[in-house]
């Protein structure tokens, strides 16, 4: 189902319906400042399982927690002053920051790594939904290879590589209506705008130095 929304004036009833779907273990597609994302509730084990199964990804670095403010980062991950200043300078924007997780976050997401990606998207639709739900969203980039019957070969990182392979531009969506072909998506929040087929820059902040894992829309170094 598609709900068309005005990004700067989203109907509260639509946001409430979307939040209820997420609380009940469903998946929602929405635009971000990069490309389209599929999201579930951070607090829904059923939703997280659906998102992981649909994505087919095993590397947790492909998954991102979407937050509406930096204070939510501190509730999920270890964040010192230097990392806080860097994130504040680059947020909101097309950057994912890999941080060491707190124990409660690891249990909630059932992840094998001790790190997870977090970001604040520069788009009103995901920010409004996060505020309505009152906690972050667990997300992954929506890709055409997720459609039923689709055949696609993603680039894979070789053993020992630290960088994640870029997402092929042709595997990204422009319009929300295209996502209807992905089985398991319960609601599409469509702002009526075609999204650029771009992806975020991933910066690993879990070690001593900043390490770039994927080059995307956000320039680095800045």
Model pLDDT for residues 47-100, shown as the tens digit of each residue: 999 999 998 877 777 899 999 999 999 999 999 999 999 999 999 999 999 999
Q: In what order do the strands lie in the sheet with 28-31?
A: 2-4, 187-190, 28-31, 36-41, 137-141, 64-66, 115-119, 95-100, 201-204, 211-214
**Residue 161: what pLDDT?**
53
Confidence at 160, pLDDT banded by 50, 70, 90: very low
**Residue 23: what pLDDT?**
97
pTM above 0.95, yes or no: no
CATH number for the domain whose boundaries are 2-214: 3.90.870.10
pLDDT at 154 over 70: no
Confidence at 132, pLDDT banded by 50, 70, 90: very high
Closest alpha carbon to 201 in 190, 215, 188, 180: 215
> How far from each other are the two terminal CA atoms of the chain, in whole angstroms?
40
pLDDT at 221 over 90: yes
Q: Domains of the chain: which residue ranges?
A: 2-214
Model pLDDT for residues 7-54, shown as the tens digit of each residue: 999 999 999 999 999 999 999 999 999 999 999 999 999 999 999 999
DSSP secondary structure, 118-140, as one string: EE--S-HHHHHHHHHHTS-EEEE
**Residue 191: what pLDDT?**
92
């Amino acid at each position: 189902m598609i709900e068309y929304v005005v990004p700067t004036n989203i109907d509260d009833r639509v946001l409430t319906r979307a939040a209820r779907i997420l609380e009940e273990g469903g998946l929602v597609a929405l635009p971000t400042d990069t490309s389209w994302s599929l999201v579930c509730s951070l607090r829904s084990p059923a939703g997280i399982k659906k998102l992981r199964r649909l994505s087919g990804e095993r590397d947790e670095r492909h998954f991102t927690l979407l937050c509406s403010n930096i204070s939510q980062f501190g509730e999920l991950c270890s964040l010192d002053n230097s990392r806080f200043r860097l994130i504040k300078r680059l947020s909101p924007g097309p950057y994912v920051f890999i941080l060491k997780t707190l124990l409660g976050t690891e249990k909630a997401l059932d992840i094998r790594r001790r790190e997870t990606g977090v970001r604040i998207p520069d788009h009103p639709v995901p920010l409004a939904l996060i505020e309505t739900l009152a906690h972050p969203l667990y997300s992954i980039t929506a890709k055409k290879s997720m459609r039923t019957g689709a055949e696609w070969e993603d680039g894979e990182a070789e053993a020992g590589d630290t960088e994640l392979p870029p997402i092929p531009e042709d595997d990204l969506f422009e319009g929300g209506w295209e996502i209807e072909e992905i089985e398991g998506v319960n609601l599409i929040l469509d702002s009526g705008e075609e999204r650029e087929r771009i992806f975020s820059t991933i910066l690993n902040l879990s070690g001593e130095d900043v390490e770039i894992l994927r080059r995307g829309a956000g320039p680095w170094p800045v």
